Structure 1
Amino acid sequence: MPSLIWLATTPWLVQLAHGRTLPTALGPVRMAWDAQANALALSCRPCSIRHASWGGEPLRLAEVRLTVQRMGMRLHGTVASGQVVARWRGQLAANSLTLDMDLPSTPVREGYALFAGAIAELRNPALRIDGDFALRARLTLPTGELTLAPQLQGLAVQGLGTEQWAQARSQCDQGLPKWARLAKPSAQSLLARAVIAAEDQRYFEHAGYDLTEITLALRGNQRGLVNASDPSHPTPAPRGASTLSQQLAKLLVTGAERSPVRKLRELLYAVEMEQTLGKARILGLYLDVAPWGGQLCGARAAAYRYFGKRADRLSASEAAWLAAMLHNPSMEARRWAATGQINHERAQWVARGMRLGGASAPRRPTAKMVAAHG
């Protein structure tokens, strides 16, 4: 690979490709040689970028522009789309190539503008997006190892109308006995604490998104992709980084499709909800509509179905068990139906996160619990 790149950036060879358009996996790429700047310019229009951790949906951009200059074994240039412009540099070695990219502080709205055709919310004239983002990245070839260090400052969103959800009512408890619908679990309830321990440990610290968790997820998922071809390193399931606010946006608006565009939409709603609804209401809404396997949704329905109790009267152990199901409700519900239990290790992990003495070792389901499920 390094020798091929070295050859491909040799001026006399590049000049032969001037004006040509090549079909690629990204899209049609047009090549141009600037003799005065001694630079190769590539333009992919339109351009589709795929990544295994995104699912099957590619990231589509109207145009991506790349410039390449070579000085000996060093490369440098720019990569741009719309008004988003980053600089990159590379170092060729005998058997490897290391590329570093630096995107300076850029308005978040310019980043979203790249996806105006795919994100309907951007066509809302009342929508306002403030804040800046930056990114540093390193790609090593031929291993394909990619590290990303995103930065996000001052992100604020207005105009999506999420304030209307302040009085929203869930339909998930329809059909429950009246006594099971009497009280909702509060933000201080054992179930709420368990859900935070399971799904969003920094819930009360972030503004709708958790940049620390996003960075960890990017690193973990990339490490899994690098090892995917090595049978001695089993590929783990992609790690998520969605906060409870983002998960609520998925449940109420965006749906469960795995795509980068969906994640971008969720981020907008999550950030606005933090301002219009606040932490307690977001948590309450999440508990009202969260899925718990099959057609079951909402904390009150889950507490009644699995334990025959009101959601505000669950024990710490029971709360930990329910919260532990949320990472994959359908799978855990099937497991419980078949075996009478869920992932016990995960439930123990959730209980430890609750930092409550009574939740340190959640008990396995009793016959009464299994009967309640069945």
Structure 2
Amino acid sequence: MKKTLRLVAFMLLALVLTAAVAVLLIVKLVLAPEKGEWSTRAQLGPVSFDVGVPTAVRLLTSHWFAPQLDGRVVDTRFGTVRMRWLAQTNALELDCAPCSVDVPALGSQPVRVERLVGTVRRDASQLSGTLVATPPASAAPGNAGASVANSGLRGRWDGRLSSTALQLNIDMQDGPLAQWYAVLVPGLPELQRARIGGTMALRGQFALPARSFSLQPQIAHFTVAGLGTEALLDARSSCGASARLANDSWLARAVLAAEDQRFFTHAGYDLTELTASIDHNQQSGRAERGGSTLSQQLAKLLVTGDARTAERKLRELLYAVEMEQTLGKARILQHYLDNAPWGANLCGAEAASRHYFQRSAARLEPAQAVWLAAMLRNPQAAVAQWQRDGAIDTARATWVAEGIRGIPRRQREALLKSVAAAKFAPP
């Protein structure tokens, strides 16, 4: 009897193992990449094998297979995804909550959304669907109430699947900026008191497996109130005496040329520069270029700090927009000049001018003003280069001189010559 039971158990085990091997072979055969097809490595138990991504996408979105995914729950690197088959629309719904993705171009921390629901339909090589991003119920900004917290950002997407790539286009509908903040950074303490006005729409293009993307935000009527930045009107800098420079002083104009050439025409943010920065950062794979206006830089200096995260950037933007309304351009520029870091543990234009050139900021020669402004991109590195090589980055200084506005051609030519020939004693 015992021998019979052992034999039956052995046969059952052999049958299970045979079935498992057969399933594995079938999966490998079905999902095996074709020649030249975009592929990735998949893990099934202890076995790993190559999977053709386009083949897998076509299988998962097919009308005969996708319904079998109804009710399935899968843990992914983006979050837990719950799947539901929508028979009326022949679409597969993917519900990711919470959902996060690493985007090095936008900062060191993942971009996180409380809940992201998308649908997927495929017609041959064409893909399409909808997107809804929802904030947590506790994320209602001060002016938005429960209507913002309980609603979501909506959009549509489409794409084309080929054997080598997946091209996606995303179009998020125009929605209140308060809603965007509630979805993207629900934990910001400022949302409890800020009154955020305006709307934003977002278009994006994504390519896989290249992982390249571009974003085109469209913002209208952005206003912020309630953060108390009017208290900065008469604030004094901890960096020492104020330079009290006029807007048309050499240093003020050089700083604007170096840091924010559209300062007098934007409302605290510069979408052109921001988009260019995102493009640059996604190509480099990290957040190298900030795209901040002078107003945003002042917010960073006085309030938010300089952490390289999307959350800090969005906080900075709130303060910058409000400061444009409460302080005005002239005061923002003066505050920036009085608080900007200039290396060697110095901050403020007056302290920097006296340390590096032994004169007040108001009495700087044009080439000296350009020199100081060119240092602002990376003050510590500029000081180190000056001490090592006897000069800062001359190409950067020349670029700043070329960007100064409101000077005649001959005066600019003279300035460029003096910058090229400048030799200042290292600090």
The partner residue of 2:121 within 63, 69, 80 is 69
Flag the 1:145–1:115 CA change in 2: closer, same or farther, 3 A.
closer
**How far apart are the structure 1 equivalents of 2:89 and 2:402?**
60
Deviation string 1:168-227 (CA, Å, 9 cap, x unpaired) is: 001112xxxxxxx485222221111000000101011100000111122222223334xx
* Maintained 8 Å contact 2:119/2:129: yes
**How far apart are the structure 2 equivalents of 1:21 and 1:293?**
53
- Alignment partner, residue 225 of structure 2: 158
**How far apart are the structure 1 equivalents of 2:338 and 2:56?**
56
- Alignment partner, residue 254 of structure 2: 194
- Alignment partner, residue 195 of structure 2: 128
Q: Give the aligned residue type for 2:268.
A: G
**How far apart are the structure 1 equivalents of 2:421 and 2:93?**
63
1:8-157 aligned at under 5 Å gives the runs 8-82=60-134, 83-115=152-184, 117-124=186-193, 127-157=194-224
**How far apart are the structure 2 equivalents of 1:182 and 1:171?**
10
1:289 lines up with 2:345 in the alignment: no
1:343 lines up with 2:403 in the alignment: no
**How far apart are the structure 1 equivalents of 2:380 and 2:249?**
24
Q: Give the aligned residue type for 2:159.
A: G
Question: Could you state the TM-score of these two structures normalised by the residue count of structure 1?
Answer: 0.89
The partner residue of 1:317 within 363, 367, 390 is 367
* Deviation for aligned residue 1:161: 0.7
- Alignment partner, residue 415 of structure 2: 359
* Maintained 8 Å contact 1:340/1:365: no
**How far apart are the structure 2 equivalents of 1:38 and 1:183?**
67
User: Residue 180 of structure 2: SS of its match in structure 1?
Assistant: helix
**How far apart are the structure 1 equivalents of 2:389 and 2:126?**
59
* Maintained 8 Å contact 1:116/1:123: no
**How far apart are the structure 2 equivalents of 1:306 and 1:266?**
30
Question: Could you state the TM-score of these two structures normalised by the residue count of structure 2?
Answer: 0.78
**How far apart are the structure 2 equivalents of 1:164 and 1:262?**
21
- Alignment partner, residue 292 of structure 2: 242
- Alignment partner, residue 168 of structure 1: 235
Give the total of aligned pairs.
351
* Maintained 8 Å contact 1:289/1:298: yes
User: Residue 114 of structure 1: SS of its match in structure 2?
Assistant: helix
Q: Cα RMSD over matched residues?
A: 1.8
* Deviation for aligned residue 1:116: 5.1
Flag the 1:182–1:289 CA change in 2: closer, same or farther, 3 A.
closer
* Maintained 8 Å contact 2:391/2:423: no
Structure 1's unaligned 5+ residue stretches are 174-180, 226-235
- Alignment partner, residue 330 of structure 1: 380
User: Residue 330 of structure 1: SS of its match in structure 2?
Assistant: helix
Structure 2's unaligned 5+ residue stretches are 1-52, 135-151
* Maintained 8 Å contact 2:104/2:282: no
- Alignment partner, residue 257 of structure 1: 307
* Maintained 8 Å contact 1:344/1:364: no
User: Residue 163 of structure 2: SS of its match in structure 1?
Assistant: coil
- Alignment partner, residue 283 of structure 2: 223
Q: Which has the higher contact order (CA 8 A, sep 6+)?
A: 1
* Deviation for aligned residue 1:6: 1.5
Deviation string 1:102-128 (CA, Å, 9 cap, x unpaired) is: 11211111101114532110012xx21
Deviation string 1:234-271 (CA, Å, 9 cap, x unpaired) is: xx973221000000000011100011111111111111
User: Residue 187 of structure 1: SS of its match in structure 2?
Assistant: coil
The partner residue of 2:317 within 267, 271, 275 is 267
Greater shift in the superposed pair: 345-354 or 63-72: 63-72
Q: Give the aligned residue type for 2:415.
A: A
Flag the 1:294–1:65 CA change in 2: closer, same or farther, 3 A.
farther
Instruction: Answer with 1 or 2: which has the greater Rg.
Output: 2
**How far apart are the structure 1 equivalents of 2:395 and 2:83?**
55
Deviation string 1:41-80 (CA, Å, 9 cap, x unpaired) is: 1111111221111232112221111111122222111112
Q: Give the aligned residue type for 1:90.
A: G
